[in-house]
Chain A
């Protein structure tokens, strides 16, 4: 059995676009559920999606627990052994309160990659495969979130390139979610049911393409 950890924010949690914070797509409809279905019984897909999660910032308003970096290590250790870690974050870092350019968000992603390598939660204490996923860019109309995400629209379109540069530089896998899905117009930054489906299917192909030598463990 191989295991993959999906470390993300509300779009991994499966929050429904334009709805309340507790309204969530069903497990098998979330992209991590789709990934599980596509990869089949040889894989165990672990979902770790927290709404509001940033890469490396304590959120002064929503709370310090939104910091992806401080939660990543205990999370990795709780779920080790892991063959693959998929990280899809970045959208929340674009909130006006953090004032970060896209390149800084990519630096935050880079920190998480370093932390995974340091902890080495892979088989036999090795470094697992790591895949950075750039979230799909925001839509122009983000409704009542306009002020919270002031200035984020342009930056969200730069994330994919900045993340890819980071992935190349660190030598990890990369996937641009914006190449297979877009955000839902209901709130402009969450993804809908169809997007979860296509993202899950696309990521399953990406996971498979990494190439896994068959071995019984």
Chain B
């Protein structure tokens, strides 16, 4: 056996594009998981964190480099010796599509390998209703992936669908994908030739923040999603926990919209926001108080059981509104770090887009 011809691992196969998911080895996933969770890391650190030998890391990194998933970062010159070159993900190494189904719209985003948003569009449900001959949702996804340069289109890892809790699935979503989610998943998969992954929408948003958002370095945090309603998730040791299905509070943007409606003001949270400094100010202030009081009581109840020091507030509300709310929450909860999420443009769709990365590149 000693002098049998070499048995090339898949590395020497120079085909362009992503390798089939089945051939990605556990060790490769281990290295990719590390790179997805860290901005840049040296081969030494990869070896230390994975327990793989230097030569194994060298072979794997070279293979990922050839596949275009990983690239050398900028050299960092130390005091002695040659400059150290960190390894990082190539932003254009992979792309992913995320779709979410919110209260007011269905959002489609395309992200790159480091979570950067390359495309975002909010579609009114009325525009997406399928007919006998047309499937507008598929067309919307197809239009979205046009943003990926043609020669990189074989690098689209898949599509993530962020679906609401069964209890809150509205008529709009029913009309869009039908009553049976798994068959909708299969339909989209075969129509677009891409693997489709589904997850609860709030969990997806939390997992996006955890993978390449502001919570990347946090193993424990509380995640609040302020959409039409307020939802929460607890993340302990990178594991996402949720409470009883569909649990949410009516202190979200719907609640604000209703309160404003009593003043005779109409607004749809996705389009223009009315002036909230004039006559609407008391209503706006009261809503923020309701929202942050609810958040405080959740966090305080939780602190009786676990010690978490970070809160991530994720919302698509305008930055000024989100930032004001964040600052007020931080003031109410001294000693706890409160940050806004990174996926502000469409938190659930953005989070959903991280799903294909999880299943194709990471250790489960």
With A174-B62, A209-B43 in contact, do A38 and B81 touch (Cβ < 8 Å)?
A: yes
| Complex interface: chain B residues within 8 A of A41 (CB) | 80
| Complex interface: chain A residues within 8 A of B55 (CB) | 129-130, 171-173
Stretch at the interface among A17-25, A105-113, A142-150: A105-113
Among B58, B63, B82, point to the contact of A38 (Cβ < 8 A): B82
A161 CA / B84 CA spacing, docked (Å):
26
Render A156-171 as a binary contact track against B, CB cut-off 8 A, 1 for contact. 0000010011111111
A205 CA / B42 CA spacing, docked (Å):
12
| Complex interface: chain A residues within 8 A of B8 (CB) | 165, 168-169
A165 CA / B89 CA spacing, docked (Å):
24
Among A103, A169, A171, A213, point to the contact of B56 (Cβ < 8 A): A171
A208 CA / B58 CA spacing, docked (Å):
12
Interface size on B, residues (CB 8 A): 32
| Complex interface: chain A residues within 8 A of B62 (CB) | 164, 168, 174
A210 CA / B81 CA spacing, docked (Å):
13
Is B82 within 8 A of A39, CB to CB? Answer: yes
- Interface positions of B from 241 to 293, Cβ below 8 Å from A: none
Write the nearest CB–CB distance from B72 to chain A, whole angstroms. Answer: 9
Write the nearest CB–CB distance from A165 to chain B, whole angstroms. Answer: 4
How many A-B contacts if CB must be within 8 Å? 90
Render A186-211 as a binary contact track against B, CB cut-off 8 A, 1 for contact. 00000000000000010011011111
| Complex interface: chain A residues within 8 A of B44 (CB) | 210-213
A42 interface residue (CB < 8 Å to B): yes
B45 interface residue (CB < 8 Å to A): yes
A113 CA / B70 CA spacing, docked (Å):
27
Q: Point out residues on B near A: beta carbons under 8 Å.
A: 2-3, 5-9, 11-12, 42-48, 53-59, 62-63, 75, 80-85
* 30 chain-A/chain-B pairs, Cβ below 8 angstroms: A39-B82, A40-B80, A40-B81, A42-B80, A106-B6, A107-B5, A110-B6, A111-B3, A114-B2, A130-B55, A161-B12, A164-B11, A164-B12, A167-B59, A168-B6, A168-B12, A168-B62, A171-B55, A172-B55, A174-B58, A201-B82, A205-B75, A208-B81, A208-B83, A208-B85, A209-B42, A209-B43, A210-B58, A211-B43, A213-B48
